[in-house]
């Protein structure tokens, strides 16, 4: 069975205005979506020894995602990200990476990674230091730079990965093409730019694809990019063509946009937790709901 492991970041997407929160995070989302696509899927990351960490693990197990190596931190709470929506689009207004930022991989956990066809991780996952070792182990790695990409990140990271993804919504095609070429020149085999409602561009040494989805009834864009990544990778690792893999990614991202909170499993937000998060956002000069 083809397989994907999501490695690194997890969070609770907190909707203060709706008094509820959803488990998520790039690596978590890709693992869940891979499982929903019928693949063997796993998540390896670090959560707090708290109600949120327990909720996340239970939700992953319900989605048939392997959690045997999820780490629990007794000193640090589970990560959260505060979100609000503007015209259906999610806007991040504050976050605390919590236990997720303390991920450390031992030899047994690294050996576990080798049992998967593709490892997906991200700029928020604190895994960059392991990439050279992954390359020596022969692991195939997909890496999401999100919209935090910088030229030096591309230069440092792309030599160790197979698939690189950057977010470039609202950018010119000239800029996007240039960044994709930089990723390929730096060592990635496949370079992907997600562009929000404008679709995606995918480039490799074998070709170039520019594609856009069909009009749909959008409920929530949270996790849409992660849905594209999962759909693309699930097709790509079965040796489907670049156009077919791109289309598979778009179609799955469209499904994600029609579900609230990425993949559901909402949790009621207690008033105490909402107050604590609101105070944190205010003390960090962010713009709470």
DSSP 129: G
Residue 276, pLDDT above cutoff 60: yes
Question: Where residue 89 falls among pLDDT bands split at 50, 70, 90?
Answer: low
Residue 281 backbone dihedrals phi, psi, to 5 degrees: -60, -40
Tokens of 118: 């593709």
Length of the chain: 289
pLDDT of residue 147: 87
- Look at residue 138 and give its three-state secondary structure: coil
Cα dihedral across residues 259, 262, 267, 271: positive or negative: negative
- To the nearest whole percent, how much of the chain has pLDDT over 70? 96
Four-residue CA torsion sign, 78, 114, 140, 199:
negative
Between CA 123 and CA 128 the distance in angstroms is 8
Per-residue pLDDT, 222: 78
Around 42, how many Cα atoms within 13 Å sit in the side-chain half-sphere? Answer: 20
Higher-pLDDT residue of 84 and 243 is 243
Does 289 or 150 have the greater pLDDT score?
150
Residue 85: C-alpha distances to residues 131, 154, 202 (Å)? 35, 30, 28
* Average of per-residue pLDDT values in the chain: 92
Q: How confident is the model at residue 220 (pLDDT cuts 50, 70, 90)?
A: confident
128 or 285, higher pLDDT: 128
Nearest-angstrom CA–CA distance, 179 and 110: 31
d(C-alpha 258, C-alpha 216), whole Å? 8
Per-residue confidence band for 252, with pLDDT thresholds at 50, 70 and 90: very high
What is the three-class DSSP state of 162? coil
Confidence tier at 239 by pLDDT (50, 70, 90): confident
- Taking 60 as the threshold, does the pLDDT of residue 285 lie above it? no
Rounded to an integer, what distance in angstroms lies between the CA atom of residue 192 and that of residue 248?
Answer: 14
Percent of the chain surpassing pLDDT 90: 75
What mean pLDDT is predicted for residues 203-209? 93
Put residue 8 in one of left, alpha, beta given phi > 0 → left and psi -120 to 50 → alpha.
left
Rg of the chain in Å (alpha carbons): 18
pLDDT of residue 289: 32
Which H or E run contains 167? strand 163-167
pLDDT of residue 88: 59
pLDDT band, residue 288 (cuts 50/70/90): very low
The answer on pLDDT for 23 being more than 50 is yes
Mean pLDDT of 237-256: 94
Q: CB of 225 within 8 A of CB of 142?
A: no
pLDDT of residue 135: 97
Is the torsion defined by CA of 156, 192, 25, 151 positive or negative? positive
Residue 8: φ, ψ to 5°: 120, -110
In order of 78, 210, 260, 264, the CA distances from 23 in angstroms are: 10, 31, 11, 8
State the pLDDT at residue 238: 93
Contacts of 128 (CB under 8 A, 6+ apart): 156, 157
Q: How confident is the model at residue 221 (pLDDT cuts 50, 70, 90)?
A: confident
Write down the pLDDT at residue 179. 95
123-137: b (≥16 Cβ within 10 Å) or e: bbbbbbebbeebbee
Confidence at 287, pLDDT banded by 50, 70, 90: very low
């Amino acid at each position: 069975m083809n397989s994907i492991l999501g490695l690194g970041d997890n969070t609770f997407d907190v909707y203060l205005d709706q008094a509820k929160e959803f488990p998520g995070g790039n690596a978590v989302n890709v693992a869940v979506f891979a499982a929903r696509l019928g693949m063997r899927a796993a998540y390896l990351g670090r959560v707090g020894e708290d109600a949120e960490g327990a909720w996340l693990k239970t939700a992953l197990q319900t989605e048939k995602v392997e959690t045997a190596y999820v780490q629990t931190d007794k000193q640090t709470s589970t990560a959260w990200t505060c979100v609000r929506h503007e015209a259906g689009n999610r806007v991040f207004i504050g976050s605390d990476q919590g236990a997720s930022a303390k991920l450390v991989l031992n030899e047994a956990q690294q050996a576990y990674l080798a049992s998967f066809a593709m490892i997906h991780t991200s700029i928020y996952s604190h895994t960059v230091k392991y990439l050279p070792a992954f390359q020596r182990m022969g692991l195939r790695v997909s890496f999401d730079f999100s919209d935090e990409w910088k030229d030096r990140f591309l230069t440092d990271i792309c030599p160790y990965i197979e698939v690189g993804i950057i977010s470039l919504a609202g950018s010119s095609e000239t800029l996007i093409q240039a960044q994709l070429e930089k990723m390929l020149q730096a060592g990635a085999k496949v370079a992907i730019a997600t562009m929000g409602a404008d679709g995606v561009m995918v480039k490799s040494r074998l070709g170039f694809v520019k594609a856009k989805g069909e009009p749909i009834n959008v409920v929530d864009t949270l996790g849409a990019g992660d849905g594209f990544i999962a759909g693309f990778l699930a097709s790509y690792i079965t040796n489907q063509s670049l156009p077919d893999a791109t289309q598979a990614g778009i179609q799955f991202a469209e499904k994600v946009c029609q579900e609230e909170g990425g993949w559901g499993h909402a949790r009621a937000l207690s008033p105490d937790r909402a107050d604590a998060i609101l105070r944190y956002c205010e003390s960090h000069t962010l713009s709470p709901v």
